[in-house]
Each structure stands twice: as C-alpha cells, then as structure tokens.
Amino acid sequence: MAAEYMAKMEKEGRAEATLVKARWLLAQMQPGLGKLPIAEITPPELLRVLKKVEESGKRETARRMRSFASRVFRYGVATGRCQHDPAGVLRGALVVPVVQHHAAIVDPVRLGELLRAIDGYQGQPAAYMALRLTPHVFQRPGEVRQMRWSEIDLENAVWAIPAGRMKQRQPHHVPLSRQSVELLTEMRGLSNHSEFVFPSVRTPKRPMSENTVNGALRRLGYGGDEMTAHGFRTTASSLLNESGKWNPDAIEQALSHADKNTIRSIYNRSSYWHERVEMVQWWSDYLDSLRARGEVIEFSRAG
C-alpha cells in the first residue's frame, strides 16, 4: 500500500529527495508492521513501533513516521483497502521534538574569519569550491550540491533551479554575482566533464554527498553548534535584513521561502528581480570586504 502511495507521489512530480525520505521512513516501519494487513493495524500496534524509535532518541523521526503512515492510511481509506487511519488518532501521543535551528554565524567579524579560513581549506577541489560558492548564493545545501551545468547561464549570470529540486515545488532563478560567475567558471575546468558542478570524488555521475560542506566546515574547526552549510542562509538573511538596504520581500524571494498567497508570490518573483540582482552583487562585495581586510561596514539603519 505504501509502495502504491509512493508511486502516486512520483507521478505527481515530487522531488527525488522527498521520495528518498519516504522510502527511508517506510523502511523504519517495515520490521514491526510490514507483514500485517493494512486493515488490521491498530493504533496501539502502530504506537509501539513509533515509541521504539522515539525512545532511541529519534523523536523527530518518530513524528515523521506517524505523519507518513497517516498519509498512507488515508490513501488506503480512499481506495477502499481499510476503514480507518490509526495514525490519525495518535496525534499528541508522541513526545514533541525540540526544534533545533541550524547553527549560523551572524557576527560580521567572525564571518570574515570564517571566509578567510575557507580560503585556506586543503580538501578536495569540489568541496573547496562548493564551500566558497555557498556563502554567495545562500541557497539550500541540497540545491547547491546537486547544481547542474545545464542550469547555469554564465553569460547572463543566472542559475535556474527546476521545480523538481525545490522545496516549494516551484522553479527558482538565482542571480549570480560577478564573484559567483568567476567561481563557477573556475569550477568548470575541475568538474571532470560531469553534468554536476560539484561531482562526487568517487564518480562524476553523482553529485558530492550531502555532508561534504558540513564535513569541510568541521575540518576547518567549526563545530555543528557553531556553523552549518544551511547556516549560510541564516547568515545572509540576518545581515541583509540588518543592513536596511533591501526590501524584506526581496530577501525572502532570494531565499526561496514560501509565500502562501499565490498571486502575491507570482508578483513578487517578477517585481523583485532587479533588486535581487543588485542585492546579490552588494552581498558578494560585502563578503569580499570582510574576508580581505576584516573590515566591518557600518550599516545605515532603516527608518
């Protein structure tokens, strides 16, 4: 039943990352539930499986398993294979996981120190270049590591990410600063003819692993409670907003955050493009100033 539901997800164009997570969640439930007919699974039986995961310290995993199971059961009800959703009544039965925010450096002086440390990284070329590019584009780590050359227009300085790889299921265009174009031009000679900008060290047929940039940060001495690959988004969001130079909506668009108002979202994607082009160049220049001289530019406060 779960496999049938996931096949439906795939036909709907869900991102590959979403499908991979669904398969993994299913694998966690199969030992305890896989041999039971879906119509016979009771809330206590499902809760025992979830509690076992929860008690191992994986509260967020247990929560996601319950949510995924509920979707499968609802699909089963809709298709006449079962009568109830036992996962639905388990809302509130699990311990609520503590929200963990991605660690990020938001102090300009310490950011300059990090950028200078990155310049001295001695690891694999793809990891080094991804580590250098990530602060400039401040997109999600998965989007950066899976970047393809077919998405890059160096002449017009645009990175076009297809909807299938975006969290919001909408295509996202990222303006590239002069510095980003230079880094990508340099990387083209290092990517071993791969379709991926940052190929795996093992094979050019796959992108580098999801832990590569975080691993590089650890090698530079930055712990997981201090800075993460995802944290570069928080860094950019915090300092761009603090500068008072840019419309907060333009910053949100640059970060590809969801806008629940569909009409407003379409309008914003078009109306803030020119501002985003200016903003990303200002941001890259600002990063260069912090890295090169360690200078902190005083922002003119808005209002």
Catalytic residues: 140, 167, 230, 233, 257, 267
CA–CA separation, 199 and 187 (whole Å): 11
- Residues sharing a CB contact under 8 Å with residue 208, sequence separation 6 or more, in sequence order: 126, 127, 130, 145, 196, 198, 199, 200, 201
Structure token digits, residue 112: 């300059």
Angle, in degrees to the nearest 10, between helices 231-243 and 273-293: 100
C-alpha–C-alpha distance, residues 120 and 221, integer Å:
12
Place of tokens 């995961």: 53
Buried b / exposed e along 205-218 (16+ C-beta atoms within 10 A): eebbeeebbbbbbe
Kindly list the distances between the CA atom of residue 152 and the CA atoms of 103, 124, 159, 203, in Å, as whole numbers in the listed order: 29, 22, 5, 21
Distance set, CA 71 to CA 80, 85, 86, 118 (Å):
14, 8, 11, 43
* Cα–Cα distance, 116 to 278 (Å, whole number): 24
Nearest partner of 135 among 153, 152, 151, 112, judged by Cα: 112
